[in-house]
Amino acid sequence: MSSSNIHRNNDLTGRNLFRSAELFGRGQRVITGGNARLTIFQRPHPIYFTKGIGVHLVDVDGNTYLDFLNNFTALIHGHGCRPVLDRLHHQLEMGISFSGPTELEVEFAELLCDRVPYFDQVRFVNSGTEAVMYTIKAARALTGRLKIAKLEGAFHGGYDAIEVSLDSAPSNWGPRSVPNAIPYSAGISESLAADTVVLPFNEIGATREILERNRDKLAAVIIDILPQRAGLVPIDPTYLAFLREFTARHGIVLISDEVMSFRLSYRGGISRFGFEADLCAFAKIIGGGLPIGAVGGPSRFMLPFDSTNGKPLVPQAGTFSANPMSMAAGIATMQSLSEQSFQQFEHLGEYARASLNEIFRQNRLPYSVTGMGSMFRIHLRAEAPKGYREAHAAAEQQRKMDMFVRALQDRDVIVSPTCQLCLSTPMSIDHVEEMVTGVREAAQMVEAA
């Protein structure tokens, strides 16, 4: 397809995206699907970026946008955070990666263990997917059991054991109180999917029954306290208390996937609710924009990774694990995040959610917003969803969402394809107001269409 053809299909209005269209055309010839990340793909083509400055992004055609996605929540300081750049420049001169450890990984591990109350130790990997995978392997090694329980609709990365019940639909999701375990990716065998038990989010009675039935076979219950795909609805503290108590009583490992929700407080996600996980998988913000993942927890749960007395139960290596560039960026990022940064996120996040609700009400728009702290998600439904089933968009609604997201891009605001947004530390009320105006105009346009 020629680039002009691609561009003619583009229903973005009044915006020159010729270079993006051209790059997608070129990409399609040599990259399967045209680009390398499913989550950033949009029809007719994604926008290709060249530069990030603070809260802004510039695309290859010279258009400037407010970045309310921050590489899917990873860039907590937005673009070009000075302490991160300085530390990276220094590290670049010192060496990009070595076949040996560095002081940086010790320093970074100390910082993280100081922050998160229940962390004695951490291990570094390269992505959130890897971090989740290793928590599951460790849980299986520790318990000698195979089954994993997860929340319906929650996304935990691309590891087989957990790629279940991500996009199930009314046709296959089964009863609300006993959701079906539907594999997300082709190639996941039925027996593998059968080792993954799906829990109805925030529903204690039904969850207890499922857990009771499986308790002697369960290695882990993995949770996300603010699951994006399940609507970005916070976990009910009573539900969390129940899961914490049940897992502890039955020797099941409670894993908190904080790849996104680690940005919910100075001490991480589950700590915000006053609870401790047995193992935590985290990533994104701790890499300061570079690839990273980590597993953390009390020493006895981290034991499967220990190689000091011979082959560990769960061997974990990785050419780029704890590479000095990611460590350097991570240290500078986390050092620049104070308790006060999180207080500001709370205020600005509340202000954004309240302002959005207000424009939805004032303009009679059948929209709603969910979220917590620095993260929020807009839903094209009048009543905020309570979980995955309400947040799930049928094909027609997804088309409307696509149109809304593109209309927002037209108004210079970048959000995720599911309309997830997040704040970065350089953002102010002015940026939020700009975004809110963009949302109002985009919604009015979509409703008029």
Residues of this chain that interact with ligand PMP (CB under 6 A) are 72, 127-129, 132, 155-157, 224, 228, 257, 259-260, 283
- Pick between residue 257 and residue 276 the one whose CB is nearest to ligand PMP: 257
Let me know: does 147 contact 216? Beta carbons within 8 Å. Answer: no
Nearest distance in Å: CB 309, ligand PMP: 30
Closer residue to ligand PMP (CB): 21 or 259: 259
Which residue from 254, 250, 242 is spatially nearest to 301, judged by alpha carbons? 254
Residue (203 or 257) nearer to ligand PMP, CB: 257
Between 128 and 234, name the residue whose CB sits nearer to ligand PMP. 128
Select from 148, 304, 295, 303 the least CA-distant residue to 219.
148
Strand partners, 123: 295
Nearer to ligand PMP, 385 or 438 (CB): 385
Tokens of 112: 């993280």
Measured from the CB atom, is 257 or 278 closer to ligand PMP? Answer: 257
Residue number, nearest CB to ligand PMP = 128
Q: How far is the CB of 355 from ligand PMP (least distance, A)?
A: 25
Q: What is the DSSP string of 181-218?
A: --BSSTT--HHHHHTEEEE-TT-HHHHHHHHHHHTTTE
Of the pair 257, 410, the CB lying nearest ligand PMP is at 257
Q: How far apart are CA 173 and CA 153, in angstroms?
A: 10
CB of 256 to ligand PMP, least distance (A): 10
Rounded to a whole number of angstroms, the minimum distance from the CB of residue 85 to ligand PMP is 22
Of 108 and 367, CB closest to ligand PMP? 108
Q: Minimum distance between the CB of residue 196 and ligand PMP, rounded to whole angstroms? A: 15
In this complex, which beta carbon is closest to ligand PMP, that of residue 6 or of residue 131? 131
Q: How far is the CB of 387 from ligand PMP (least distance, A)?
A: 15
Identity at 423, one-letter amino acid code: L
Q: What is the DSSP letter of 449?
A: -
* Residue 379 main-chain phi, psi, to 5 deg: -115, 140
Nearer of residues 198 and 260 to ligand PMP, judged by Cβ: 260
Least Å distance, CB 132 to ligand PMP, is 5
CB of 430 to ligand PMP, least distance (A): 28
Extract the tokens encoding 326: 């990611």
How many whole angstroms from its chain centre is CA 249? 29
Contact call for residues 147 and 217 (beta carbons, < 8 A): yes
Sequence-distant (6+) residues with CB within 8 A of 168 are: 152, 153, 174, 179, 180, 182
Amino acid at 12: L
**CA–CA dist 215, 130 (Å, integer):** 26
- Please give the Cα distance from 349 to 371 (Å, whole number): 9
CA–CA separation, 321 and 294 (whole Å): 9
Do 260 and 375 form a contact (C-beta atoms < 8 A)?
Answer: yes
Q: How far is the CB of 396 from ligand PMP (least distance, A)?
A: 26
Which residue stretches of 79-127 are H helix? 82-94, 103-115
> Which amino acid appears at position 186 of this protein?
A
Bin 153: left if φ > 0, else alpha if -120 < ψ < 50, else beta. Answer: left
CB-wise, 164 or 446, nearer to ligand PMP? 164
Q: What is Dmax (Cα atoms) for the chain?
A: 67
Strands (E), 132-283: 147-151, 196-199, 218-223, 253-257, 279-283
Q: How far is the CB of 39 from ligand PMP (least distance, A)?
A: 7
Burial (Cβ within 10 Å: 0-12, 13-18, ≥19) of residue 33: exposed
Smallest separation (angstroms) from ligand PMP to the CB of 231: 13
